[in-house]
Structure 1
Amino acid sequence: MKFFIDTANLDHIQEAQALGVLDGVTTNPSLMAKEGITGRDNILKHYQKICEIVDGDVSAEVISTDFEGMVKEGEELAKLHPQIVVKIPMIKEGIKAIKYFADKGIKTNCTLVFSCGQALLAAKAGATYVSPFIGRLDDVSTDGLLLINEIREIYNNFNFETEILAASVRHTMHVVNCAKIGADVMTGPLSAIEGLVKHPLTDNGLKKFLEDAKSLAV
């Protein structure tokens, strides 16, 4: 499973990259705003900075909701760097845009997916990634992991090449469970990735080893 980090924070991206397990980055307008990045030129420059840090795909989201606007924005984003993946919302005009970009050989990430039907449409249109938001489904008492599982079954049935990108990952168990049910990619905060390192028995064992090593050195 690929590990993406969901942020626009360059320090967090660099820290995840330093771990040696980072495969890409996802961002959105809300994450940009959280970092105080405003204005089209500044946002485009920030995407380029992210691409300089990581080796894998970097999802950059359009803000238009009409076909022509999404195409114009998406083409501008795709020209920034070969690693850019154009992030398109799951709406009717978005499906048209995904098909357009697929025909042009431009990678896309269909975002805000909350149902199997939406995931099926995205795959049919040729999306590179489809992003079911499992955390947000959990927030409304719906099983986000079940959705991932059902999309996996559908994609396997028809050999769709679209990768399932589990989004809105909140914690380490989301990561582990997504891996169990076959998500191709997970994207979440740095804490969800680093949390996989931790276990109290590891901490206790290391503490004991160090204590014993210190006593032997006396």
Structure 2
Amino acid sequence: MKFFIDTASLSEIRLAQNLGVLDGVTTNPSLMAKEGIAGTVHVHAHYKAICDIVDGDVSAEVISTDYSSMIEEGMLLAALDNKIVVKVPMTEDGIKAIKYFSTKGIKTNCTLVFSAGQALLAAKAGATYVSPFVGRLDDISVDGLALIREIRTIFDNYAFPTQILAASVRHSAHILGCAKIGADVMTGPLQAIFSLLKHPLTDSGLAQFLADHKRVAAQSNN
């Protein structure tokens, strides 16, 4: 499973990249706003800075909601770097835009997916990724991981090349659940990725090893 980080923070992206397990980045207008990035020129420059850090795909979301404007905006984003994946909302115009981009060889990420039917439409239109929002479904007491399982079955039935990008991942249990089900990609915050490092037995075991080493070293010096 690929690991993407869901952020627009360059410092967080560098930390994840330095860990050696980062495969890509997803962003959205809210994340850009959180970093104080506004205006087309600044947003595009920020995307280019992200692409300079990572080796894999970088999802850049269109702000437009109508077909023609999505195409215009998406083409500009795709021209920034060959790592850019144009992120398009799951709407009627969004599906039409995904179909257009797929005919032009431009990678796309269909976002705000909350049903298997939506994922199927996006795959039929040629989306590179579909992004079902696991955490947001959990927030309304719907099993987000069950949706990933449904989509995995459908895509496998018909050998769709579209990758399942589990989004709105909140914690390590989400990551492991997605991995067990067979999501192609997960995207989540830095803390969720780093949480996989932690286990109390690892900490206590390392402490014991170091204590034993220190004791034996002290004895050998006597």
Partner of 1:197: 197
Instruction: State the AA in 2 paired with 1:79.
Output: A
- CA deviation map 1:183-216 (0-9, x unaligned): 0000000011111010000000000000111111
- 4+ runs deviating over 4 angstroms: none
Residue in structure 2 matched with residue 83 of structure 1 by the alignment: 83
> Matches of 1:61 and 1:215 in 2, distance apart?
56
Structure 1: unaligned runs, 5 residues or longer: none
- TM-superposed CA distance for 1:217, in Å, is 1.1
- Structure number with greater Rg is 2
Alignment correspondent of 2:54: 54
Alignment: residue pair count: 218
Residue 104 (structure 2) pairs with residue 130 (structure 1) = no
Cα distance in 2 for partners of 1:140, 1:40 equals 34
Corresponding residue for residue 147 of structure 1: 147
Fraction of identical pairs, as percent: 71
Cα offset, 1:60, TM superposition: 0.1
1:68 shift after superposition: 0.2
TM-score normalised by length of structure 1 = 1.00
1:55-80 alpha-carbon deviations (Å, 9 max, x no partner): 00000000101000000000000000
Which residue in 2 is equivalent to 1:171? Answer: 171
- Cα drift, residue 39 of structure 1: 1.1
1:63 aligns to 2:63 (yes or no): yes
Please report the TM-score for the alignment, with normalisation by the length of structure 2: 0.98
1:20-73 deviation line (CA, Å, top 9, x unaligned): 100000000000000111111100000000000000000000010100000000
Aligned to 2:20: 20
Amino acid at match of 1:149: R
> What is the root-mean-square deviation of aligned Cα atoms in Å?
0.3
Alpha-carbon offset, residue 138 of structure 1: 0.2
- How far, CA to CA, are the matches of 2:160 and 2:38 in structure 1? 37
Task: Give the deviation of 1:81 after TM superposition.
Answer: 0.3
The residue aligned with 2:29 is: 29
C-alpha distance in 1 between matches for 2:159 and 2:77: 29
Task: Give the aligned residue type for 1:92.
Answer: E
SS at match of 1:36: coil
Instruction: Report the AA paired with residue 56 of structure 1.
Output: G
